[in-house]
Amino acid sequence: MNTEQREDLGGGEAEERPEVLLDHAWDALEEGNAEGALELAQALSEDDPARAVLEVSALLELDLLPQAEEVLGRATAATPVERDADLCWCAAELALRQWNFERAARLFRRTVELERTAPALGRLALCADARGDFQAADDYLRAAEELDPEGWAFPPRLDEEELTEILDEAIGRLEPDFQEAIEETPILIEPMPQRELIDLTDPSQTPPDMLGLFIGASRLERSPEAAEMPASIHIFQRNLERACADREDLINELRVTLYHEIGHMLGFDEEGVDRMGLG
């Protein structure tokens, strides 16, 4: 982003006014432009904790976990995470993405102590879900709803029979060729993703709050001569429920998630799935 672009964002004074530049950087991040947010951050003082929070947030959005850890390490050398709610949140998010749920939960609890917010309680619910403590997760979600009833309604819940019916109905909407392609691929409904499904050497591609996952060789990659891991599609119920505001939203998100994982099974990325019209 050059000087003219910065001036377009915030007027000619943007470079001289850190608070304006910071606002534009956060706007860029919220609009999905993490690279632009990082470029704007370069004009902020390296000693400003707000720059570190912005950079870590953008790097996590880009799945650049080692770089996020490096930036956070420099920032917390001057300001311990336990003293700053925003830095504490960033450290907790990084730990969560690294599948270190004990550290993430400890840091999110400290974040809540420093600044009690519904999003922080929601992340504590995710940590509890990841540990299999669903009652604690629901307690955190109830507390978030009490704190912010409009923004954090308790998530819809579906029983196993309802989930199966919705997924069967979604499969029934597919073209016959697609239905045939998934006949031998099990579709597994699980509460949460488990560590044994994840490549922890590269956790950036498999966040704990992912909604679904295809495992195995896609149809384009399969070879009759090679011994390959059996293909399977995994649907993560608690993550889906937590991500949705109501039952209708949940049913739609279940379909979208299933279709995306079927697309991966067929050998397509997200853009390919969109072009195929599965969503």
Domain range 3-147, its CATH number among 1.10.287.890, 3.20.20.140, 3.40.50.1470, 1.25.40.10:
1.25.40.10
- Tokens encoding 277: 């019209």
Give the model confidence (pLDDT) of 234-273 as tens digits. Answer: 999 999 999 999 999 999 999 999 999 988 888 876 666 6
CA distance 103 to 108: 9
Give me the residues paired with residue 187 across strands: 233
- Tokens encoding 15: 């470079």
Residue ranges of the domains in the chain?
3-147, 160-276
CB atoms under 10 Å from CB of 180, counted, come to 10
Mean pLDDT of the chain: 87
- Say yes or no to pLDDT of 2 above 50: no
- Structure confidence at residue 176 as a pLDDT band (50, 70, 90): confident
pTM of the model: 0.85
Mean pLDDT of 99-113: 97
Mean pLDDT of 18-27: 91
Predicted pLDDT of residue 270: 64
- Structure confidence at residue 222 as a pLDDT band (50, 70, 90): low
The answer to whether the CB of 192 falls within 8 A of the CB of 137 is: no
Instruction: Could you please state the CATH topology (level 3) that the domain comprising 160-276 is classified under.
Output: Zincin-like (3.30.2010)
- Tokens encoding 27: 């706007």
- Tokens encoding 85: 């709610």
CA 155 to chain centre: 17
* Selected residue with higher pLDDT from 139 and 19: 139
Mean pLDDT of 124-132: 97
Mean pLDDT of 83-103: 96
- Structure confidence at residue 6 as a pLDDT band (50, 70, 90): very low
Predicted pLDDT of residue 11: 46
> In 3D, which of 7, 8, 54, 66 has the Cα closest to residue 29?
54
CA distance 119 to 159: 26
Predicted pLDDT of residue 249: 95
Predicted pLDDT of residue 178: 80
Predicted pLDDT of residue 179: 84
3-class DSSP state for residue 246?
A: coil
Residue with tokens 């399977």: 232
